[in-house]
């Protein structure tokens, strides 16, 4: 299979057991990139036969996360085609049909051993320090014994008969030539006693019937591949190409988990990440175009992506790097687009507050957001951070104990400075804008023989309840004359 093939068919096959996490999202994106690169198709298949772990609500969560990322599928739920259905729970008849075929051809057999019997054998061997391996007890049952057990309604699983003295070999794009002796694989179950297929069996059948040409998945499935190849061989199916993606570890080298800020795509959406930044970062988890390029557009990724460039070394999930990339995307975004994204977040935030907590900005909200955007653009790494930076524009401030007593032991006469600022900013003969505000405070600095920095500190604490704010002159303009003067007056009363 060449990377220029036009007949590429790849698949993303999640199990609905929770949210779409970073590792699964990367798998989906690499499959999507390869399909786009080769002019092929991406098939979405839901592997939902694990009853114990199945969560039906997870199906829509996975769909929504993929759609938000822009990872669209050519075939699958909602895009049905001739190779469907695309949920394994709707394909059990297919799996059972092939299982009967394998039994008829003596390539599989019924196993009537109960779970309790098998567990007892495991314990016995464990006491002897010997590894457990199914002893093929049921392979040697006579037709009469099988018939008798079936007539008695004894439950059974179906096992694949693993050929003896064979080498199972395949070439993986990332890990190279892999060889396994069939003697190291027991006769594994393909249909459970409840009638549902096991993973390695159903996956091999589905990939074959859906004409998958390249299987791109996580490295944790590398050990499953020999069993799947045995199923391919037993049924006379063509074996696809395999690419196993490297593990993703935390920066401490441990398995990725929530403590590494490895969270669901839904949480990244909630925290205000940009989808293009997430995709850009996903591409860097195990793949690299060169040693220095970090930022790519989606079109550039499609053009440059190659399976042969995937590294077998485990990828390190660096949340700080993801934050940096997200910040770069925010800074490269147009003010108009960013303004709309920020507006949506701040509206949601404001709607969660009691009306008594809000400043009166009725009729000015849209204009304020437009002015706020360039002030915060260089200071945020996520959209969610814009809320913390901008909340004093819309939420009434409450002065902390620190700032109620902040100027008691300072040389600056804060009440006098603020009285003069109040009078100067009350003038209505000039437009209340950043230029007027800067000019006014600079003149006041000269008149009082106090540095502009000191005046700015006093004013900033009065209007923002913090020593840090967006650029002061622009901040005062956006607050507006009414709110600015009200806060200055309130603070004078507190510190006098």
The two structure tokens encoding residue 147: 């018939």
Per-residue tens of pLDDT for the chain, all 496 residues: 444 555 899 999 999 988 999 999 999 999 999 999 999 999 999 999 887 777 888 899 999 999 999 999 999 999 999 999 999 999 999 999 999 999 999 999 999 999 999 999 999 888 888 888 899 999 999 999 999 999 999 999 999 999 999 999 999 999 999 999 999 999 999 999 999 999 999 999 999 999 999 999 999 999 999 999 999 999 999 999 999 999 999 888 888 766 666 689 999 999 999 999 999 999 999 999 988 899 999 999 999 999 999 999 999 999 999 999 999 999 999 999 999 999 999 999 999 999 999 998 877 899 999 999 999 999 999 999 999 999 999 999 999 999 998 888 776 789 999 999 999 999 888 899 999 999 999 999 999 999 999 999 999 999 999 999 999 999 999 999 999 999 999 999 999 8
Nearest Cα neighbor of 487 from 363, 360, 371 is 360
Angstrom distance (rounded) from CA 435 to CA 190: 76
Q: What are phi and psi of 165, to 5 degrees?
A: 55, 45
Angstrom distance (rounded) from CA 243 to CA 141: 40
Strand partners, 406: none
The single-letter DSSP state of residue 238 is P
3-class secondary structure, 417: helix
CATH node for 91-245: 3.40.50.620
Q: What residue ranges in 67-200 does DSSP mark as E strands?
A: 108-111, 157-160, 167-172, 176-181, 189-191
Q: What is the pLDDT at residue 128?
A: 87
Strand partners, 169: 179
pLDDT one-digit tens code per residue, 209-231: 999 999 999 999 999 999 999 99
Angstrom distance (rounded) from CA 173 to CA 3: 12
The interaxial angle of helices 481-495 and 472-479, nearest 10 deg, is 110
pLDDT one-digit tens code per residue, 419-444: 999 999 998 888 999 999 999 999 99
Q: What is the pLDDT at residue 1?
A: 43
Q: What is the pLDDT at residue 55?
A: 82
Q: What is the pLDDT at residue 295?
A: 95
Angstrom distance (rounded) from CA 210 to CA 11: 9
Hey, which residues are catalytic here? 258
- Cβ-proximal residues to 310 (8 Å cutoff; 6+ apart), any chain: 30, 173, 174, 243, 245, 246, 286, 287
Considering the entire predicted model, what is its pTM? 0.90
- Cβ-proximal residues to 131 (8 Å cutoff; 6+ apart), any chain: 125
Angstrom distance (rounded) from CA 157 to CA 196: 9
Angstrom distance (rounded) from CA 290 to CA 288: 5
CATH node for 401-495: 1.10.10.350
Nearest Cα neighbor of 342 from 209, 459, 478, 438 is 478
């Amino acid at each position: 299979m060449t990377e220029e093939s036009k007949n590429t068919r790849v698949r993303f096959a999640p199990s609905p057991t929770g949210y779409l996490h970073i590792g699964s999202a990367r798998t989906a994106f690499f499959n999507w990139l390869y399909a786009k690169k080769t002019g092929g198709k991406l098939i979405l298949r839901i592997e939902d036969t694990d009853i114990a772990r199945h969560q039906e609500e997870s199906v829509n969560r996975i769909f929504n996360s993929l759609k938000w990322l822009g990872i669209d599928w050519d075939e699958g739920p909602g895009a049905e085609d001739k190779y469907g259905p695309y949920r394994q729970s709707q394909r059990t008849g297919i799996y059972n049909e092939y299982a009967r075929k394998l039994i008829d051809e003596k390539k599989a057999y019924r196993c009537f051993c109960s779970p309790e019997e098998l567990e007892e054998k495991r314990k016995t061997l464990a006491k002897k320090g010997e590894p457990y391996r199914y002893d093929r007890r049921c392979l040697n049952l006579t037709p009469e014994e099988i018939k008798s057990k079936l007539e008695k309604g004894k439950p059974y699983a179906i096992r694949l008969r693993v050929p003896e003295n064979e080498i199972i070999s395949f070439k993986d794009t990332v890990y190279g030539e892999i060889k396994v002796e069939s003697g190291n694989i027991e006769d594994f179950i393909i249909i459970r006693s409840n009638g549902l297929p096991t993973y390695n069996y159903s996956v091999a059948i589905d990939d074959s019937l859906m004409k998958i040409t390249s299987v791109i998945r996580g490295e944790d499935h590398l050990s499953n591949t020999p069993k799947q190849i045995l199923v391919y061989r037993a049924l006379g199916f063509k074996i696809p190409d395999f690419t196993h993606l490297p593990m993703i570890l935390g920066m401490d080298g441990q398995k990725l988990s929530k403590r590494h800020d490895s969270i669901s795509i839904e949480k990244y959406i909630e925290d205000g990440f940009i989808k293009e930044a997430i995709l850009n970062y996903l591409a860097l988890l195990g793949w690299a175009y060169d040693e220095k390029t970090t930022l790519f557009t989606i079109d550039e990724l499609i053009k440059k992506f190659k399976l042969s460039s995937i590294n077998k070394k485990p990828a390190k999930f660096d949340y700080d790097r993801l934050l940096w990339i997200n910040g770069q995307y925010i800074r490269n975004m147009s003010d108009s687009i960013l303004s709309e994204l920020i507006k949506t977040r701040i509206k949601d935030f404001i709607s969660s507050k009691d009306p008594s907590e809000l400043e009166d900005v009725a009729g000015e909200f849209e204009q304020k957001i437009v002015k706020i955007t360039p002030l915060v653009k260089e200071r945020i790494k996520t959209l969610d951070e814009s809320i913390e930076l901008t909340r004093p524009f819309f939420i009434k401030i409450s002065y902390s104990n620190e700032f109620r007593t902040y100027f008691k032991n300072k040389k600056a006469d804060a009440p006098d400075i603020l009285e003069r600022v109040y009078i100067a900013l009350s003038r209505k003969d000039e437009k209340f804008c950043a230029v007027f505000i800067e000019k006014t405070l600079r003149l006041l600095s000269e008149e009082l023989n106090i540095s502009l920095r000191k005046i700015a500190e006093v004013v900033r604490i009065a209007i923002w309840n913090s020593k840090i704010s967006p650029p002061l002159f622009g901040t005062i303009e956006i607050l507006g004359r009414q709110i600015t003067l009200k806060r200055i007056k309130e603070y004078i009363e507190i510190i006098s």
